[in-house]
Structure 1
Amino acid sequence: MVLGTTSGAGKSWLTTALCRWYSNQGLKVAPFKAQNMSNNARVVPGPGGTGADAGGFGAWGEIGSAQYFQALAARAVPEVRMNPLLLKPEADTKSQVVLMGQVSAELTALPWRGRSERVWPQIAAALDALRAENDVVVIEGAGSPAEINLHASDIVNMRVARHSDARCLLVTDIDRGGAFAHLYGTWALLPEDERALIHGFVLNKFRGDASLLAPAPQMLQDLTGVPTVATIPMQWHHGLPEEDGVFDDRSTAAGAVQTTVAVIAYPRISNLDEFQPLKNVPGVRLQWVRSPADLAALGAADWVVLPGSKATASDLAWLRAQGLDGAIATHAARGGRVLGVCGGLQMLGEALIDTDGIDGNAPGLGLLPLVTAFARDKTVRLTHTCWGTLAGAWSALSGVEVSGYEIHHGQTAQHPAMAAGGDVAREVMPRLAWTNAAGNVLGVYLHGLFEDTAVLHALFGTRALTLDSVFDGLARSADACFAPGVLAALIARPAPGTTPAAA
C-alpha cells in the first residue's frame, strides 16, 4: 500500500509505477483505492463486469481516472471494484457519491461521517475479491493516514491497511520542505499497531545531490525503526496525467512552440487528465487560463478550450464573473478555434434548462445555436464513432474514426427557434458534436479525444507518447530509485510462523 504524508505527495504516481513494475515481473496485478475524491473519472465495466450490451447501453460505471490508468499500467481491465467509492465535488461542501460505479442519491444526501459504515462492507468485499483473483494488489491511500479527526471513520487509509495486513510505503514531497518532519509526524500520530505496517519511507520530488540528505534518513530510522527505501528525483516530463493538479510551463512539452492551447480552468473543472497527451506533443504549449489577462498574456492563442465541468451552470457564472465570456467571444469572432468538451459544449450553446434541479438554469455563451436540458438519468458509456464532414478550422477531423467516453446529465439539441430563423448548428457527430457555420467553434460530448491516436495525428501530424511507454518509464524509474530487493520483499510471502508485518 502506498500512503502519503499529504495530498499531492506522489501516491498516484508511485502506485502506477509499482503496478507496471510488478506486472513486468510476470505477476497478475490490480490496483485499488477504497475512496477517491476527484472530478476526473473514467467509464469502465460496472458490477459483474458486464459492460454494455450489444446496443451500446448497459452496466457501465465510473471510477477515478488514477485507478483507470493504474489498471492499464498493471495490464488489467479497469473495473469498478478498483475504486468502489468515488466522490465528485459539486460545491465546496457537497459531493456526488458514486458507489460501485453508480450514482447514489441516498449516500449523497448523508453526512460525511454517516457514510463510512454504510459503504465499508462493499469496499471490503471489492478488496477481498481483487486479492483473491490476483498475485499482487497495489493499494493507494488518500490524503494522509494521520488525519486524527477522521481516523474513527476512516475507510481509505489504515482501516484498509489493517484489513489487508498491507505492507505500506509512506511517501512525502520533499520539494515542499519539511519532509522528515512530515514523515516522523505522520508515523508518530499512528497507533502502534498501525505503525508496524509502515515498511519504508519514500522521498519524492527531490532536486539536488542526494548525498546531502545524510544523516537525516539514518536519524529518522533510529527514531522510528523504518528505513528510507527510495529517493525519487523531480520529474517534470514523466507523461502520466495529473490526477487533480494543474500544470505549469515547466511541465509542458519541450521544443519550439507551434500551437498554443489555452484551457479555461474553472473551479469545478472535470476530466482535465484527458489533455495530458497534448502536453506530450512536440511544439504544443498547454496553458491554464483563469482571467482575460491570462489569455491576453499568451498573445494570439491558437485554441481556447472549455473543458468538462461537474457544475456547468456554476462554472459558467464564474466564467462570466471573470470577464472570460467576452474574451472567448472575441477570440471566436476573429476566427480562432474554440473547443468545448462535455460541460464546455453545454456552455457554448444558447441556454441551460434544468427543471429537475440537477445543475442549474443559465443563458449560454451563444456561440452555438444549441440548447441543453438536464435530466436525472446520467449518460455513462464508452463510444466509438466517426466524425462527419467538417469545414473550416477543424476540417482535418473529417471522416476520422474516434473512441472515447461519455459522462453527462445534459442532453443537447438544436435550438428550434433559431433553426426556424436559419441559424442551424452543423451536426458533425450524431447527437455528440456540432460546429458553427464558420467551422471554428466545435462542441463535443466525447471525452478522451486527445487520447485517440487518429485524432492526434489528424490535428498535429504526429503521435504522442503511448501510455505503455509512459508506464514502462515509470517502472524503470521506480526500479532505479528503490534500494535493491525492497520491491520484491514487499510482496514476499512470510516465513512459516511469522506474520506478514514481521516478515
Structure 2
Amino acid sequence: MKKKNIMFQGTGSSVGKSILTAGVCRVLKDMGYHVAPFKSQNMALNSFITKDGKEMGRAQVVQAEAARIEPMVEMNPILLKPSSDVGSQVIVMGEVYQNMTATEYHKNKPKFKNIIKEAYDKLAEEYDAIVIEGAGSTAEINLRENDLVNMGMAEMVDSPVVLIGDIDRGGVFASIYGTYMLLEKEEQARMKGFVINKFRGDVKLLEPGIKMLEDKINIPCLGVIPYFTLHIDDEDSVSLRLSYQAKKDIVVGVLRLPHISNFTDFTPFEMDEDVEVKYIKSALDFKDIDLLIIPGSKNTIEDMVYLNNTGMTKKILEHHKKSKPIIGICGGYQILGSGIIDEGNNESSVLKTNGLGLLNTSTIISNKKRTVQVEGTIDISFMGEKLKADVKGYEIHMGVTKFNESHQHFVHLQEGHMDGAINQEENVLGTYLHGIFDNDKFRKFLLDNIRRQKGIETKDQTLSFEEFKETQYVELGKIIKEHLDVEKILEIMSEF
C-alpha cells in the first residue's frame, strides 16, 4: 500500500460508520495486515478503561478487538462524555481535561490538533494500515472551521475518504449527493467512493439509481451492505437494542436513564436465547421484570431526580417489595444508596439528593475520576444461593461510596480493597465494576437462579462470552468481505 490509511465518513449519525470500520479492520487483519482503528474525537457515554488506566470510547475498543489487538488510548485521543444538553466532560488522551460547553469546546479545538496528530503518528509507526472513522455528518458545514474529525482529520493525515449512506432511513441517494455537493472541491477530490448501508431487498432494483448517482458525482459505489443484526457493542444510545427486543422467558429490565452510560454492560445477556433485555423508559414498562438493573450514569443526581419525577422510583420500590433482585452498576450503585452529594458541581448543577435507600450507603461526587481495570473474588450469598468465583472488570467513576459494615461486600479486589455491597435481605446488589456481566460464572449464577424460580430448565454454556464475541466478529468479517469491494479499497490506498 502506498497509503497507510483509509477513512470512513458518513452522511449522518448512526449510518454504520463504527461497525463498518470494525468489519474492515477484521478483513484487513485476515488478509495479513497489521491494522489499527482510529477516531480523533468520539462523543459517547460508552467508554472503556485500558490496561494502563486510560479512558477511551467503546467503539474503538470493538474495532481493536475486531483487529485482534489490544485497545490503546491513541486510537481515540479525545472523548466527549455529554453531561447535559449543552456540555460535556472532555477526556484528552484518556484523562479528564475539564467540563466544557459545546461553544467552549469548538473554540478550543486548535489546542487539540497537535495531540490528535501525535496520537495518530504513534499508531502509524506501529501499524501497516489505519482505518479511520469520522463522526456525524461530513457536511456539517457550520463546524467545518477547525474540524478535527471529518475532512479536517482527512487533511491532517492526507487520507482518502469513503462516504457511507444509510438506506434504511430513506433518501440515501439524496443524502449522498447532497453531502458530496456541500463539500469544497479539494474535499470532493478526497472522496474516492461511497457505500450504501443497511439495504433490504433485491439489489438489482437499486442498481439503476446507483449508476445515476455514480454519473452525477463521478465516484464509484464500493458496496451495498445488507441490513444485518449481530451482537456487537453499539457506539451510542440510538442503538436499536434500546428500543426493541423479542419477548423471551426471562426479562432483564434496564432503566433507560437520561444520562445512561455503558449500556454495553448488558450485551452479554444477549448470548442466552431465553433472555430479553428490556430498556425501561417509563413507569408503565415495569411489568414482568425478573431482574432489574440500574445502569451507569454520567449525571447521577439528575437521573435520580428524573426517577422521582416520572414515578419510576415508586415502581422500583414496588419491585423490591416483591423480593425480586435489583443490581446497580456504578451510578446505579450510587442511586441504590441513601443519598448523593455533589457540592463541587462536578457532574450536576443540583448539589444533593436522596437515593432509593435500598442499600445503607452514601456517595460524595469528587473531582477525581477513578479509572482502572480490576480483578477480584466474589464470595457471596444472593437470592438464597451462594457463589464463589474470580471476576474482572473496570471502574470509571467520580464518586466515593461509603457503606455500612453490616452489608456483605460484593468483590474483594487486589491489595485488600473492597467493592460494592449486598443488603441484608440478599436481593439488592451494588458495584462499581463495569463489565461484571462479561464474567460467565456470575452471569449464569444470576440467570439460573431466575430459571429455577420460574421452572425453566437450566442450560450448560457452550461458549464463553469472549468466544461468543469472536463468532460475531467472524460473521461481520464475512459480511464485509462479501458485500464491500475491499480490493478496490486497497487499490485506493495504493493510488491516492
TM-score in terms of structure 2 length: 0.90
8 Å Cα contact 1:43-1:405 kept in structure 2: yes
Question: Which residue does the alignment assign to 1:425?
Answer: 407
- Map Cα deviations across residues 246-294 of structure 1 (whole Å, 9 max, x no partner): 4349964x7x722101110011000011211212321110111111112
**Closer, same or farther: CA 490–390 of 1 in aligned 2, 3 Å:** farther
Question: Which residue does the alignment assign to 2:273?
Answer: 282
| Distance in 2 separating the partners of 1:196 and 1:77 | 34
8 Å Cα contact 1:246-1:288 kept in structure 2: no
**Closer, same or farther: CA 250–379 of 1 in aligned 2, 3 Å:** closer
Given candidates 312, 315, 318, the residue that maps to 1:327 is: 315
- Map Cα deviations across residues 106-127 of structure 1 (whole Å, 9 max, x no partner): 7679712212101011001111
- Indicate whether 1:269 and 2:269 are aligned: no
8 Å Cα contact 1:371-1:413 kept in structure 2: yes
- Indicate whether 1:181 and 2:169 are aligned: no
**Within 5 Å, which residues of 2 pair with 1:39-438?**
39-45=45-51, 51=52, 60-105=53-98, 111-236=104-229, 238-244=230-236, 245-248=238-241, 252=245, 257-296=248-287, 300-359=288-347, 360-392=351-383, 395=385, 398-415=387-404, 424-430=406-412, 431-438=418-425
- Map Cα deviations across residues 17-57 of structure 1 (whole Å, 9 max, x no partner): 01111111111111100000011110014xxxxx2xxxxxx
| Distance in 1 separating the partners of 2:486 and 2:92 | 39
Question: Which residue does the alignment assign to 1:31?
Answer: 37
8 Å Cα contact 2:380-2:408 kept in structure 1: no
**Closer, same or farther: CA 116–232 of 1 in aligned 2, 3 Å:** same
Instruction: Quote how far apart the aligned CAs of 1:381 are.
Output: 0.2
**Cα root mean square deviation, aligned:** 1.9
Instruction: Quote how far apart the aligned CAs of 1:132 are.
Output: 2.1
- Higher mean displacement: 216-225 or 238-247: 238-247
8 Å Cα contact 1:290-1:322 kept in structure 2: no
Question: Which residue does the alignment assign to 1:443?
Answer: 430
8 Å Cα contact 1:66-1:243 kept in structure 2: yes
8 Å Cα contact 1:172-1:183 kept in structure 2: yes
8 Å Cα contact 2:88-2:102 kept in structure 1: no
Matched pairs, number: 466
- Higher mean displacement: 348-357 or 332-341: 348-357
> Identity over the aligned pairs, expressed in percent?
36
| Distance in 2 separating the partners of 1:100 and 1:438 | 43
SS at match of 1:205: strand
Instruction: Give the letter aligned to residue 231 of structure 2.
Output: G
| Distance in 2 separating the partners of 1:85 and 1:337 | 37
8 Å Cα contact 1:241-1:274 kept in structure 2: no
| Distance in 2 separating the partners of 1:249 and 1:116 | 32
TM-score in terms of structure 1 length: 0.89
| Distance in 1 separating the partners of 2:103 and 2:228 | 40
SS at match of 2:50: strand
8 Å Cα contact 2:210-2:221 kept in structure 1: yes
SS at match of 1:432: strand
Question: Which residue does the alignment assign to 1:48?
Answer: none
Given candidates 419, 442, 447, the residue that maps to 1:455 is: 442
- Map Cα deviations across residues 276-325 of structure 1 (whole Å, 9 max, x no partner): 121232111011111111223xxx21011100000000011011111111
**Closer, same or farther: CA 357–250 of 1 in aligned 2, 3 Å:** closer
| Distance in 1 separating the partners of 2:337 and 2:215 | 62
8 Å Cα contact 2:340-2:365 kept in structure 1: yes
| Distance in 2 separating the partners of 1:16 and 1:412 | 37
| Distance in 2 separating the partners of 1:102 and 1:129 | 18
Question: Which residue does the alignment assign to 2:481?
Answer: 479
Unaligned 5+ runs, structure 2:
1-6, 413-417, 448-459
**Closer, same or farther: CA 149–250 of 1 in aligned 2, 3 Å:** closer
Instruction: Give the letter aligned to residue 284 of structure 1.
Output: V
- Higher mean displacement: 334-343 or 356-365: 356-365
Instruction: Quote how far apart the aligned CAs of 1:344 are.
Output: 0.2
**Closer, same or farther: CA 108–158 of 1 in aligned 2, 3 Å:** same
Instruction: Give the letter aligned to residue 401 of structure 2.
Output: T
8 Å Cα contact 2:244-2:278 kept in structure 1: no
Unaligned 5+ runs, structure 1:
46-50, 52-59, 495-499
Instruction: Quote how far apart the aligned CAs of 1:358 are.
Output: 1.8
Instruction: Quote how far apart the aligned CAs of 1:205 are.
Output: 1.0
Question: Which residue does the alignment assign to 1:55?
Answer: none
Question: Which residue does the alignment assign to 1:57?
Answer: none
Instruction: Quote how far apart the aligned CAs of 1:243 are.
Output: 1.1
SS at match of 2:83: strand
